[in-house]
Amino acid sequence: MITYGHHRFPGKLFVVEGTDGSGKSTQLALLYQWLKAEGYPVFYSEWNSSPLVKDTTRRSKKRRLFTPATFSLLHATDFADRTERDIFPPLKAGAIVLADRYIYTAFARDVARGCDRAWVRQIYSFAVKPTVSFYFRAPLDVAVDRILSGRPQLKYYEAGQDMDWADDAEDSFRIFQGSILEEYDRMVDEFGLTKIDATRSIEKQQREMRAIVKQHLKKEKAVVAR
């Protein structure tokens, strides 16, 4: 089993994870606004956003060239680039980094697509353990209904249609998201994910999230005060 070590930088790393439709991005955006208002230096990093692989990803998706393994490796390249550019420098400077999806997204999606669980974890062995990893857990029907109600059409890879689970995009999406949800649930104990009930109101979820984050910020200030 791969052990991801705690970083020794003075900054804090908070990440959000969950299936599509879990509401995690909304919660992270609210946390970002609150931390900024409180006067903390905050930086934001988003999954699959590195300019290094963006064009390759776009072209490959358009031509439907990805296999599960190449998809996994490209996302790992994206993550490695963002780690070096967007995550480590702010942490070294003592800032707070908020990540919308982290290595656990790869662990869930890639394994759901059939990649070996140990192989995927080994690829990300360079990653550091976040200060807190929030897992916004929404039941499958709730999460899927949220996505389908807001999307005119599901994208090919988003729906998992590359795996030939079902001819219908919505059916394929449900199968894919169900497998992803199972992988996330497996990781709660393995990686110590902090599970948040994503069926509650946005306000209640945000209050719980802030209370947990505050505990780590207080510790940080206490150390500085010494």
- Domain assignment present for 98: yes
- Domain assignment present for 113: yes
- Domain assignment present for 26: yes
pLDDT tens, N- to C-terminus, the chain (226 residues): 566 777 889 999 999 999 999 999 999 999 999 999 999 999 999 998 888 888 888 888 888 888 999 999 999 999 999 999 999 999 999 999 999 999 999 999 999 999 999 999 999 999 999 999 999 999 999 999 999 998 878 999 999 999 999 999 999 999 999 999 999 999 999 999 999 999 999 999 999 999 999 999 965 443 443 3
Long-range contacts, stretch 214-223, CB < 8 angstroms, 24+ apart? 216/12, 216/131, 216/132, 217/12, 217/40, 217/96, 220/10, 220/12
Q: Give the pLDDT score at 65.
A: 83
The CATH number of the domain holding residue 195 is 3.40.50.300
Q: State the total domains in the chain.
A: 1
- Domain assignment present for 3: no
Note the pLDDT tens digit of each residue in 157-171.
Answer: 999 999 999 999 999
- Domain assignment present for 112: yes
Containing domain of residue 87, as a range?
12-217
With 0.85 as the threshold, say if the pTM is over it: yes
- Domain assignment present for 4: no
- Domain assignment present for 44: yes
- Domain assignment present for 2: no
